[in-house]
Chain A
């Protein structure tokens, strides 16, 4: 009997404690900065090295480049199309880890439900426009270089 009564006491006392429900749709949920959400792409920084397409475990990135119309710059190719098949992206952030120029970075956006599967095929325009909540630390080796250079 004693165990039962103790259990009843625990539940009764819990009624007076603070509730842990988040007021989610009314108040936005803030994710920590390292959170791996959908990607953000900046076409000016991309040098079309294809590292992200090669490292992706599910091969969801396809990209094409074209010759740089600007003959003076050192960058030979600029990005033409950049498609990310978000249906199979596993948000592992390997693409951001290997990108040498941080052209592709992750944001903290996780509210990505869509009404049709077509909307899940993210193209260059969508990824460029998705620039809220961009993550600060992306490529760890570049981060160390930045920190080392700053000091």
Chain B
């Protein structure tokens, strides 16, 4: 797919690009549908119950049925809500989540854009979704959603910083921000994968990623039991489906990013297993990270907003800064030893 990027821009190649983007969108929608199904089933199994199993065989048609229900619902907009902002908020929240998928390489040959600033692009764009959430909270004209929107703005902004700084440790080790390059430096055995040398960055990154995704234990903006669904309490039907879609597409994108940054992307754990296509390894690791995020949801209680802030600024940020120093020092020492 990389060769496609080097074609001269003509109507034919433009249509090819648009077609591939549409195909990716459809694949992502399909994956989100079954990600929701997987989450419900896994949570059910953890709670001694079967998840959905009546709609369709094994409940496979449950999410399409839910999506259909959401789509045919009446479009309710509260009377005093700001209509243009209310309608705009889900779109602003969703578009960055889909756009960041372009920078992630899924295997050696499957990538959409080989950006040299891949990591930075990802974090910058995911910050744009915050605007959508805050707009949704404000435009709903509801005190609960306002509080939810404010909490979410504080949370997403504070956790974007440890996210980026812990990724800097990985960038230092790999020497490039290009995601393809980062993955290529992790070839070989599984102890080359970045999560072992960069264990501190790994822990900080995973915690910040879960906070960025608004998932338990950091799901205050949509705390179901306090704020009755926080910033999307007034949204129903299709617009609510957009917010849900945003959350799940981000989960997919973030799991893919964690796989690429820390688990070696499409490389096998051992060189003799390289005959299995890289995409399968990518998928397996991606599913492992995804399962871990769902597992946390089934187990942990929610953290309080002031504890969240103090965790982000007073624990994660110093840890990630310390990680950069240690990485830089160790790299200089290794360079000095090697001559």
Is chain B in direct contact with chain A in the complex (CB below 8 A)? yes
Show the binding face of A for B, using Cβ within 8 Å.
4, 7-8, 10-12, 14-15, 17-21
CB distance from A21 to the nearest CB of B (A): 5
Residue pair A15, B45 in contact (C-beta under 8 Å): yes
**B43 and chain A: residue at smallest CB distance:** A11
CB distance from A15 to the nearest CB of B (A): 5
Residue pair B47, A14 in contact (C-beta under 8 Å): yes
B295 touches which of A11, A18, A19, A20 (Cβ 8 Å): A11
A139 to B295, CA, bound (A): 53
Residues of A contacting B296 in the complex (Cβ-Cβ under 8 angstroms): 8
Residue pair B46, A14 in contact (C-beta under 8 Å): yes
Residue pair B48, A7 in contact (C-beta under 8 Å): no
A10 to B47, CA, bound (A): 10
Residue pair B300, A21 in contact (C-beta under 8 Å): no
Residue contacts A-B, CB under 8 angstroms, 8 given: A12-B295, A14-B46, A14-B48, A15-B46, A17-B48, A19-B48, A20-B48, A21-B49
**A12 and chain B: residue at smallest CB distance:** B295
B298 touches which of A11, A19, A20 (Cβ 8 Å): A11
Given contacts A11-B298, A15-B45, 20 further A-B contacts (CB under 8 A): A4-B300, A8-B296, A11-B299, A12-B46, A12-B295, A14-B45, A14-B46, A14-B47, A14-B48, A15-B42, A17-B48, A18-B48, A19-B45, A19-B48, A19-B49, A19-B50, A20-B48, A20-B49, A21-B49, A21-B50
A19 to B50, CA, bound (A): 7
CB distance from A74 to the nearest CB of B (A): 57
A4 to B203, CA, bound (A): 14
Show the binding face of B for A, using Cβ within 8 Å.
42, 45-50, 295-296, 298-300
Residues of A contacting B298 in the complex (Cβ-Cβ under 8 angstroms): 11
**A20 and chain B: residue at smallest CB distance:** B48
Residues of A contacting B47 in the complex (Cβ-Cβ under 8 angstroms): 14
Ranked 3 nearest A-B pairs via Cβ: A11-B46, A15-B45, A11-B299
Residues of A contacting B300 in the complex (Cβ-Cβ under 8 angstroms): 4, 7
**A7 and chain B: residue at smallest CB distance:** B299
Residue pair A8, B48 in contact (C-beta under 8 Å): no
Residue pair A8, B46 in contact (C-beta under 8 Å): no
A54 to B191, CA, bound (A): 82
CB distance from B62 to the nearest CB of A (A): 15
A8 to B46, CA, bound (A): 10
Residues of B contacting A21 in the complex (Cβ-Cβ under 8 angstroms): 49-50
Residues of B contacting A8 in the complex (Cβ-Cβ under 8 angstroms): 295-296, 299
CB distance from A12 to the nearest CB of B (A): 7
**A9 and chain B: residue at smallest CB distance:** B299
Residues of A contacting B295 in the complex (Cβ-Cβ under 8 angstroms): 8, 11-12
CB distance from B326 to the nearest CB of A (A): 21
Most chain A beta-carbon neighbours within 10 Å: one of B46, B295, B296 = B46
A21 to B50, CA, bound (A): 7
A19 to B300, CA, bound (A): 21
Most chain B beta-carbon neighbours within 10 Å: one of A7, A10, A11, A15 = A11
A122 to B42, CA, bound (A): 45
A136 to B105, CA, bound (A): 70
A14 to B299, CA, bound (A): 11
A11 to B298, CA, bound (A): 7
A12 to B295, CA, bound (A): 8
CB distance from A58 to the nearest CB of B (A): 35
A14 to B44, CA, bound (A): 10
CB distance from B231 to the nearest CB of A (A): 27
CB distance from A120 to the nearest CB of B (A): 28
CB distance from A48 to the nearest CB of B (A): 48
A119 to B50, CA, bound (A): 35
A19 to B44, CA, bound (A): 9
A18 to B47, CA, bound (A): 10
Residues of B contacting A17 in the complex (Cβ-Cβ under 8 angstroms): 48
Residues of B contacting A18 in the complex (Cβ-Cβ under 8 angstroms): 48
**A26 and chain B: residue at smallest CB distance:** B54
Residues of A contacting B299 in the complex (Cβ-Cβ under 8 angstroms): 4, 7-8, 10-11
**B45 and chain A: residue at smallest CB distance:** A15
A12 to B46, CA, bound (A): 6
CB distance from B299 to the nearest CB of A (A): 5
Residues of B contacting A14 in the complex (Cβ-Cβ under 8 angstroms): 45-48
CB distance from A23 to the nearest CB of B (A): 9
Residues of A contacting B48 in the complex (Cβ-Cβ under 8 angstroms): 14, 17-20
Residues of A contacting B50 in the complex (Cβ-Cβ under 8 angstroms): 19, 21
A123 to B48, CA, bound (A): 43
CB distance from B171 to the nearest CB of A (A): 28
